[in-house]
Structure 1
Amino acid sequence: METFIMKRRNFITTATVAGAGVITNPVMGNSSKPKEFKLKHNINHSVCQWCFNEYPLEDFLKILNQLGIKAIDLIGPKDWPLLKKYDIECSMCNGAEISLTEGWNNPKYHETLIKNYTDIIPKVAEAGFTNLICFSGNRNGMNDYVGLQNCVDGLRQIIPLAEKHGVVLQMELFNQVNHPDYMCDSSIWGVELCKHLGSENFKLLFDIYHMQIQEGDIIRSIQNYHPYFGHYHTAGVPGRHEIDESQELYYPAIIKAIHETGFKGHIAQEFIATWDDKIEALKDAFLRCDV
């Protein structure tokens, strides 16, 4: 019996050491090889430039060329010629808005907003782009129904121009943690605005990060409301970081759900990279969203 106990102890010790070696020693084959970066081209990928603004825009465009990514988000008119130089589309234009907090829900901003959007909509079309971002603005004590009607009253004055030029205005959905008091903070409110306006030239920018924090049930929202969603943004929850296993959303399933709706627009990465090599983090995100 003593001999058996000694042999058993020796076996457990040996097995424990060997097991520890598998976990900690990369020589044992636990180190993961870099994924081959090869896209299937079923998804129109894009990326928000502000998340990678440590790279000069022209350098970043060169990187996108190398990766075969043909679009970038949130670039204004002054930089569109540079995008043309590198044959990259601006998949979400900006430059007509006042701010995130001062938007279409407040009539006192309508005169300025109508002027700004009337000026930039033809420029978006002339550049060969389609999407132009807009914002609801903050509540500041305003009732949501009043704010919705104010948005309708203001946006109706520029939607005919957008229709004429084939430009789609897209209002972004935000959460209340990062953007306290912002009015367009739910899919239902945004969809109701779309229904009131009744134009294919007004859609919602469905930010997956924001809506996971605000309301969750992301795939069901996509399935139920996808006709009103014209663009998507990604990021990991919590923290707006990489969309890998460090966060709570499973993006391959989300992107698959988007793809199954027949969506032909762009899905743009909008996460703040924490990896030492931020471009490798971006490549990893593109691959996770490639179905």
Structure 2
Amino acid sequence: MAKFAANLSMLFTELPFLDRFEAAAKAGFQGVEYLFPYDYSAAEIKQRLQAHGLVQVLHNLPAGDWEAGERGIACHPERIEEFRAGVDTAIEYATALGCRQVNCLAGIVPEGVSQAQAQRTLVDNLRYAAGRLETAGILLLAEPINTRDIPGFFLHHTEQALALFDEVASDNLKLQYDIYHMQIMEGDLAPTMERHLSRIAHVQLADNPGRHEPGTGEIHYPFLFQHLDRIGYRGWIGCEYKPATTTQEGLGWLDSVRAIATK
């Protein structure tokens, strides 16, 4: 059975960020992920990971001005140097935290930039990041995201992402497959994950509509969890959802998964 990681950017948000590590461990999560570690020192975060026996599963490369609505800069032709500096920062943190993979958010295509320009920039940036991260022993991921929640986001379909990865031509670049985003954009979840299993290094989940916990929407998660086991997925599943009430009250789905696994 795959292991579940709490996304601390969305779960336990009633607590200060550094206190969420303890809450995740107490809830039974083995690992954690989140958007960014960069507002804190690596030493602070490492202490929380070690104190609570957690694995740092994933964080993102620096992604521009998040508060201003930026969602990545990897497709921005005028910000290549900023992107590359961010790769160095991500390597520093990931190395200190024992994090074996980082995700690149492609970003929203800037006004005045063509799709072709954005793609050329993204391919070049991914090739650069994949090489630098490989040297550091860290896997690079990239993630398609739905354009309903983030209009204009460049990378938004599985096949589009994999074709772009072929152009990058690096063995150190894999797909982060977010079930919620891909349900919105293309559906056909189980066959897609099976067809591209060898290229998927990380899975994230939330239900649709609402982006709440499994069992609150249309996605049949009991089937998908069994399917992932059957096809041999052994990576982490990041729980990147917005609790419908509180994180703790909404964890019944995880208890059910564990109960099935122990039978």
Letter of the 1:282 counterpart = L
- CA deviations on 1:11-59 (whole Å, 9 max, x unpaired) are xxxxxxxxxxxxxxxxxxxxxxxxxxxxxxx221111112221123344
Q: Which amino acid aligns with 2:56?
A: C
RMSD: 2.2
Distance 1:205 1:95 in 2: 14
Q: Give the direction of change, closer, same or farther, for the CA distance of 1:67–1:221 in structure 2 (3 Å limit).
A: same
Question: Offset of 1:110 from its aligned partner?
Answer: 1.0
Look up the match of 2:250. 281
Change (3 A) 1:209 1:165: same
Q: Deviations over 1:82-105 (max 9, x none)?
A: 223222122112352225544212
Asked if 1:266 is matched to 2:231, the reply is no
Residue 49 of structure 2 corresponds to which residue in structure 1?
Answer: 83
Q: Work out whether 1:72 is the aligned partner of 2:32.
A: yes
1:102, 1:109 within 8 Å by CA — same for their partners in 2? no
Q: Is the 8 A contact 1:194 1:228 kept in 2?
A: no
Structure 1 window deviating more from structure 2 (55-64 vs 101-110): it is: 55-64
For residues 143-173 of structure 1, what are the alpha-carbon distances to aligned partners after superposition, in whole Å with 9 as ceiling and x for unaligned? Answer: 4444322211122223222111111122222
With structure 2 as the length reference, what TM-score do the two structures score?
0.85
Sort the Cα spacing of 1:192 and 1:145 in 2 relative to 1 into closer, same or farther, 3 A: farther
* Structure 2 residue 158 is the aligned partner of structure 1 residue 193: no
Task: From the superposition, tell whether residues 193 and 178 of structure 1 become closer, same or farther in structure 2 (CA, over 3 Å).
Answer: same
3-state DSSP class of the match of 1:259?
Answer: helix
Are the counterparts in 1 of residues 146 and 181 from structure 2 also a CA contact under 8 Å? Answer: yes
2:251 counterpart letter in structure 1: L
Task: Name the aligned partner's letter for residue 57 of structure 2.
Answer: S
Write the deviation string for residues 236-257 of structure 1: whole angstroms up to 9, x where unpaired: 110111211x411001221222
**1:249 aligned to which of 219, 226, 247:** 219
Q: Aligned pairs, how many? A: 248
Q: Deviation per CA, 1:196-250: give whole Å up to 9, x if none.
A: 2232321222111111011111111101222222211111110111211x41100
Contact 1:76 1:95 in 2 (8 A): no
Structure 1 counterpart of 2:94: 124
Name the structure with the higher helix share. 1
In structure 1, what is the Cα distance between the partners aligned to 2:129 and 2:217?
40
Whole-angstrom CA distance in 2 between matches of 1:270 and 1:114: 26
Alpha-carbon deviation of 1:282? 2.4
Moved more, 74-83 or 221-230: 74-83
Q: Which residue of 1 aligns with 2:77?
A: 107
Equivalent residue, structure 2, for 1:92: 58
What secondary structure, in the 3-state scheme, does the structure 1 residue paired with 2:249 have?
helix
Q: Greater relative contact order (Cα 8 A, min sep 6): structure 1 or 2?
A: 2
User: Which residue does the alignment assign to 1:169?
Assistant: 140
Residues in 1 aligned to 2:171 and 2:231: alpha-carbon distance in whole angstroms: 17
Cα distance change, pair 101–56 in 1 and its aligned pair in 2 (3 A): closer
Residue 127 of structure 1 deviates from its aligned partner by 2.4
In structure 1, give the amino acid aligned to 2:228: I
TM-score by length of 1: 0.77
SS at match of 1:177: coil
Structure-1 separation of matches of 2:231 and 2:58: 21
- Partner of 2:10, secondary structure, is helix
| Secondary structure, aligned partner of 2:9 | helix
2:87 match: secondary structure: helix
Distance of aligned partners of 1:272 and 1:286 in 2 relative to their CA distance in 1, 3 Å threshold: farther
Identity %: 22
The aligned residue for residue 239 of structure 1 is 210
What CA distance in whole angstroms lies between the structure 1 residues aligned with 2:113 and 2:251? 39
Gaps of 5+ in 2: none
Partners of 1:95 and 1:190 lie apart in 2 by: 18
Check if 1:183 corresponds to 2:142: no
Q: Distance in 2 between matches of 1:60 and 1:283?
A: 19
